[in-house]
Amino acid sequence: MKTRSILAAAAALSLALTACGGETPAEDPTEGATNGAEVSPEGIDDGTELTMWTRAPLERQAKNAVEAYNATHENQVILEILPNDDVEGKVGGAIQTDTLPDILAGDVVRIPYWVEQGVFTDITDHISTLDVDNLQQGHIDAGTIDGRMHTLPFVTDISVMVWNKDLYEEAGLDPEQGPTTVGEFLEQAKAVADLGKDGVAGSYLAGQSGGALVFTLFPMMWASGEEPLGAGGTEANVASENAKAIYAAYNELANTSNGLGAGSKEETGATWTAPFQEGNIGVMQYPYTAVTGLFDTVDFEIGVAGIPGVDGNQSTFLGGDALGISRSSENVEQAWNFMSWLMSDEAQQTVFADNDDTASSLSVLENGYADADERTLIANATIKDGRTPVAIYFNEAFNAAGSNWQLLIQDAVWGDGSQVDTLNEEISATLGG
């Protein structure tokens, strides 16, 4: 029994050595990973089966990445897609029972908390072997704690301003010219609302989805020069003058007939992209990953621009999922092989750029979209002005159903705005832990 298992282990070891072509030193890979002394830039590709979790909204991009990797590597990644709302419960359960997958991708706003709770393996030494400056920083910063890095960008999902050119033409607006300030946004939305068409509204807001509200409104604040999150993510600043100016614009729309689409106030985020897709909304912020799919499928023309601030400028929310190796993974080098491959320009090109999705490599963003739709170039150009909010308790303060941020928007847009300052304090209290 014992001799047989030793023989088997020896055979497996020699197989592993042949597979990686003698490139990697013949040392125990787990030891190399923990003390960081023997880090190979490309990891190990020895036919290991790797498990990976990601969430449903990014299923298409995740499948593209995993299929491209599996077709060209010995290692095979088995992808499991989790429903968006169940991610944290499932990860928590897996931690209690020590059944995390090797590779774990998560909503970037949740990553700081996960890192703080020790969900990921420290891969600072691995990441240092990459050309980090050529990668989109938001998803790396989110996974950095005390100078130790844990995550890389997986799928970048940005928010952009989109408008329905057909409705703009009907309303007597220039269909080629989207809003460049919050004031213009309000004017244009009201012009569409004034059409008085049945079911058509100026704009739309997911009133009860803290996540969508962050995704749509934070870029307006950033472009206005505000910092909605201060002091390393422990303070909220969403009651500034500029923030209030933005809320006032939405409040005016809410009080205009057909200003905000029906159901805006109650929208929990499940269907917030549907009204624009159905051609019923004039102008609104939108996830770029969702709008590329609409270019050829809807029967109206779509315009794309960066999200403006109160006095112009533009910004975007660098959302999407960051990617790390879980703390209980026994295949760190193999998992790193997948991650380092994904960061290469070839992979970024074939997996993301060629599918009109947003790449995380800056050089691919600049050169990889020669044949792409003009609007993709406009969207990509906003990334350098984009931001990812980093706060450990971000989810509780902003994303969770019924969060104080959601209550603040409900009051500012559909109420009298009297509680904005108090709720800002409450959010700060939550962020402080």
Partner 1 sequence: MTAPSIIAGRTRSAHMRREAATGWAFATPVTVVLALLFFAPIVLVVIMSGSKWTLLGGNQGLNGVDNFSKVLADPMLLDSVWFTLKYTLLTTVILMPIALGLALLVQEARRWNNILRTAILVPSALGIASASVLFYALYSPQVGPINKVLADLGLMDQDSSLLGTPNGALWATVFLVVWRFAGFYMLLTMVGLQGIPQDVYEAARIDGASRWRTFTQVTLPLLKPTIAMTMIMSITGSLLAFDQFYVLTKGGPNNSTMTVVLLIYRYAFETKRDLGMAAALSVLVLLALVVINAIQLKAMGVSDKEDK
Cα separation, 241 vs 311, in Å, equals: 12
Phi-psi region of 344 (alpha: psi -120 to 50; beta: other; left: phi over 0): beta
Vertex 394, ends 338 and 126: CA angle to 5°?
A: 25
Does position 429 interact with partner 1 (CB under 8 A)? The reply is: no
Q: Which of 251, 268, 186 is nearest to 418 (CA)?
A: 251
- Measured in degrees and rounded to the nearest 5, phi and psi for residue 151 equal -135, 160
In DSSP notation, 295-325 reads TTTSSS-EEEEPEEETTEEEE-B-EEEEEEE
What is the nearest approach in angstroms of partner 1 to the Cβ of residue 125?
24
Binding residue for partner 1, selected from 20, 50, 119, 383, defined by CB under 8 A = 119
Site string for partner 1, 178-207 (x = CB under 8 A): ---------------------x--------
Q: Which of 129, 51, 160, 61 is nearest to 360 (CA)?
A: 61
Does position 268 interact with partner 1 (CB under 8 A)? The reply is: yes
Of 93 and 225, nearer to partner 1 (C-beta) is: 93
Q: Which listed range, 71-79, 109-117, 224-232, 364-372, lies at the site for partner 1 (CB under 8 A)?
A: 109-117
Site string for partner 1, 270-309 (x = CB under 8 A): -x--------------------------------------
What is the nearest approach in angstroms of partner 1 to the Cβ of residue 216?
18
Binding residue for partner 1, selected from 36, 118, 225, 232, defined by CB under 8 A = 118
Q: Are 142 and 151 in contact (CB under 8 A)?
A: yes
Of 36 and 118, nearer to partner 1 (C-beta) is: 118
Binding residue for partner 1, selected from 105, 189, 396, 405, defined by CB under 8 A = 396
Does position 95 interact with partner 1 (CB under 8 A)? The reply is: yes
- Measured in degrees and rounded to the nearest 5, phi and psi for residue 90 equal -70, -45
Of 275 and 306, nearer to partner 1 (C-beta) is: 275
Site string for partner 1, 400-419 (x = CB under 8 A): xxxx--xx--x---------
Cα separation, 53 vs 80, in Å, equals: 5
Longest dimension (CA), the chain: 84
Q: Are 160 and 288 in contact (CB under 8 A)?
A: yes
Q: Under the rule (CB under 8 A), what is the footprint of partner 1?
A: 88-89, 91-92, 95-96, 113-114, 117-119, 199, 208, 262-263, 265-266, 268, 271, 395-396, 400-403, 406-407, 410
